[in-house]
Amino acid sequence: MITLVRKRSSAKLSLTPLIDVVFILLIFFMLESDFLRPYVMDLAQQGGGASNATTKNTPILIELHDDQSIWMNKSKHSMESIENAILELNPGVDSPVVLASDPGVPLQSAVTIIDILQRRGLLNIALTEAERFN
Amino acid sequence: MLKPGQKNFGGFVGRKTTSSRERRPESTVPMINIVFLLLLYFMIAGKLHIDLEVTPPTSAASTPPSGNLLNIAITNTGAVQYRGDEIAIPQIELELQSDFKDQVVQISADGQADAVLVAQAVASLSKVGVKQITLLTLKR
């Protein structure tokens, strides 16, 4: 009687191609992934405290001109000096701020000013167009 | 002086061992585990793109946007879009009052868009009587 003994292959499945593919996928996702997360900031509604001149606190008027100059209460400032000027003014937390922008001023400039104001505790900020306010 | 069976590794004199354990290549399994974990992390946590038509301004704001709100997009060319259609800002007051009344409205405006357009949109939305207006920003 002849018995056929089938020799079982001891070779293991090679993992190398799988690892290659995983590396390629890893590099792809590392390069293409974007971890930017959007956030939101509140904008005060017009007709509320900031844009309403009849409130008990006189609003702080900040004007953004199209020549990149910033005027606060009729004195000229730069983006660097405006924070110190706000500190010197020492407004109360409830003080309304009217941010009046000229046409052509990029939104980023207005948002940077809003950031500075919020850092100083001023949250009642209304964004308006300069022509409307004057 | 080196004896037979010794190697000079930059000044260190090592003894050549005959142990079969040391002759085996370094195990790659832990590295593959870490690569798999990194791959999973980037696949799950990373997004290939943000679904925005605009590049919002950067700010220090840290409030995440809430879902289910109305969105108005303002591009850097000055186009105002609502639900995929281009609209004029006066339309908010004239035709879209019922859409916006008592709603939370998110303005996603380009950082290079005219700030006056955003101000005009805020003014119109305020007149209509929205509940809250938020501006979309990216973390600085």
CATH code of the domain covering residue A79: 3.30.420.270
**Residue A110 neighbours by CB distance under 10 Å:** 26
Residue A48 DSSP code: S
Q: Quote the domain boundaries for residue A112.
A: 60-133
Alpha carbon A68 to chain centroid distance?
20
Give the pLDDT mean for B25-38.
85
B126 touches chain A (CB under 8 A): yes
C-alpha–C-alpha distance, residues B103 and B32, integer Å: 50
C-alpha–C-alpha distance, residues A22 and B35, integer Å: 8
**In the CATH scheme, what is the code of domain B58-139?**
3.30.420
> What's the confidence (pLDDT) of residue A109?
93
In a domain, A102, yes or no: yes
Please name the residue of chain A whose CA is at the shortest distance from the CA of residue B36.
A22
In a domain, A85, yes or no: yes
B123 touches chain A (CB under 8 A): yes
Hey, which residues does A72 pair with through a beta bridge? A62, A75
The C-alpha of A78 sits at a distance from chain B's nearest C-alpha, in angstroms, of 18
Q: Do B111 and A22 touch (CB under 8 A)?
A: no
The C-alpha of B19 sits at a distance from chain A's nearest C-alpha, in angstroms, of 24
Q: Do B109 and A41 touch (CB under 8 A)?
A: no
B122 token code pair: 């805020």
Number of domains observed in the structure of chain A: 1
> What's the confidence (pLDDT) of residue B13?
47
Indicate the domain borders of chain B: 6-45, 58-139
Give the pLDDT mean for B96-115.
90
In a domain, A128, yes or no: yes
Chain B positions touching A30 (Cβ under 8 A) are 38, 42
The C-alpha of B56 sits at a distance from chain A's nearest C-alpha, in angstroms, of 8
With cut-offs at 50, 70 and 90, classify the pLDDT of residue A63: very high
Give the pLDDT mean for B30-46.
87
In a domain, A65, yes or no: yes
In a domain, A101, yes or no: yes
> What's the confidence (pLDDT) of residue A100?
92
In a domain, A118, yes or no: yes
HSE toward the beta carbon, residue A49, CA cutoff 13 A: 14
pLDDT in tens, B123-132: 999 988 888 8
3-state secondary structure of A18: helix
